[in-house]
């Protein structure tokens, strides 16, 4: 990519295309810590709804010094506005600003002449053409058969759609300005690998146990050496204040639960937490309970298929 083109895109990120976003990948490999370049690449992936967007967002966050700035960027109107909507908005503004000139009146004489010519043409063809020849002979289908065909088509279309597609798995995650907690939670979750459900063999377990015997003996030897060489620890007084234990793995508060966070659990294949999230959202937003119930069914179906 030429420097002039890159400079223009950095000043006008809404003008980036999918092809230009692909070209930026090689430039990012050369300058991995150029944060504006990664932000521009994110915009291009979001523009074409690429499945690579979520992973690119995680990598960009790792290369960003202040993640709050990144969050403000991905929730801004400039980032979420695509090129098509910009063109529609610009065209509507141009139409409003256009001056409409007065339309010339069509004279009565011209309309009369056209009507007379049309009538003469129709009269000349009456003896040649038979209107009955142009009537389509239709065999009416009973309404019951039409209804059965429509029902079968609808049922087939719905059944053929995979749960992954219905749940929008792989599509770019969209964060709202109020979902800073969901964004932080997503960054924390993505530091772990997705849950991989694979069958483990007994032989692998036995081999791992046999291999772990040597490190265990080394650890026990270190502990014994520490006990022998270091003085005994004095017991804590009974009136000493007890330290407060913080559970880092505590569940997210119900008030902080969002649909985006539920999708995050789904992307990480943590189906149990995704189902629990949709249950919380169903209680939080009763007007959308039917929608969340459908989401729970789809997640359960997806969970059963992966086991």
For residue 181, give the 3-state DSSP assignment. helix
pLDDT at 246: 47
Residue 187 in contact with residue 67, Cβ under 8 Å?
A: yes
Lookup result for tokens 């009136």: 239
pLDDT at 78: 64
269: left (phi over 0), alpha (psi -120 to 50) or beta: left
Q: Count of alpha carbons within 13 Å of 1, Cβ hemisphere only?
A: 23
pLDDT at 253: 57
pLDDT at 24: 85
Digitized pLDDT (tens) for each residue of the chain, 307 residues in all: 788 888 888 888 888 888 888 888 888 888 888 888 888 888 888 888 888 888 888 888 888 777 777 777 777 776 666 554 455 455 556 656 666 555 555 555 555 666 677 667 666 665 555 555 555 555 555 556 666 655 555 554 545 567 777 777 777 776 666 666 666 666 665 555 544 555 544 555 555 554 555 677 777 777 777 777 765 666 666 666 665 554 444 455 565 677 878 888 888 888 888 888 888 888 888 888 888 888 888 888 888 887 6
Residue 50 to residue 170: CA distance in whole angstroms: 8
- List the structure tokens of 301: 């179906």
- List the structure tokens of 12: 């006008």
pLDDT at 75: 78
pLDDT at 248: 46
pLDDT at 114: 65
Which pTM was predicted?
0.42
Q: Tell the burial category of 64 from Cβ atoms under 10 Å away from its Cβ (0-12, 13-18, 19+).
A: middle
DSSP letter at 134 equals G
Q: Tell the burial category of 60 from Cβ atoms under 10 Å away from its Cβ (0-12, 13-18, 19+).
A: buried
The percent helix, strand, coil of the chain (3-state, each to 5) is: 65, 0, 35
Calculate the dihedral angle through the C-alpha atoms of 142, 146, 147, 152, rounding to the nearest 10 degrees: 140
């Amino acid at each position: 990519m030429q420097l002039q083109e890159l400079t223009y895109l950095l000043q006008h990120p809404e003008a980036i295309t999918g092809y230009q976003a692909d070209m930026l990948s090689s430039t990012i490999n050369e300058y991995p810590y150029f944060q504006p370049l990664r932000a521009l690449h994110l915009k291009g992936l979001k523009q074409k709804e690429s499945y690579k967007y979520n992973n690119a967002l995680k990598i960009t966050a790792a290369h960003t010094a202040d993640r709050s700035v990144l969050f403000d960027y991905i929730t801004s109107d400039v980032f979420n506005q695509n090129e098509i909507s910009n063109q529609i908005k610009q065209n509507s503004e141009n139409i409003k600003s256009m001056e409409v000139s007065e339309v010339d009146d069509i004279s009565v004489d011209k309309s009369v002449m056209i009507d007379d010519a049309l009538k003469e043409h129709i009269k000349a063809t009456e003896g040649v053409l038979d209107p009955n020849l142009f009537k389509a002979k239709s065999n009416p289908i009973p309404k019951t058969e039409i209804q059965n065909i429509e029902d079968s088509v609808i049922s087939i279309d719905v059944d053929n759609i995979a749960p992954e597609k219905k749940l929008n798995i792989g599509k770019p995650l969209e964060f709202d300005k109020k979902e800073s907690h969901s964004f932080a939670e997503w960054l924390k979750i993505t530091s772990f690998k997705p849950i991989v459900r694979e069958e483990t063999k007994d032989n692998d377990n036995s081999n791992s146990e046999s291999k772990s015997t040597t490190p265990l003996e080394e650890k026990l030897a270190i502990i014994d050496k520490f006990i022998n060489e270091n003085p005994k620890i004095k017991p804590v007084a009974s009136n000493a204040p007890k330290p407060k234990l913080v559970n880092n793995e505590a569940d997210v508060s119900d008030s902080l639960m969002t649909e985006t966070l539920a999708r995050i659990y789904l992307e990480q294949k943590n189906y149990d937490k995704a189902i629990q999230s949709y249950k919380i959202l169903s209680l939080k937003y009763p007007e959308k309970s039917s929608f969340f119930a459908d989401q729970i069914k789809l997640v359960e179906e997806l969970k059963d298929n992966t086991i």
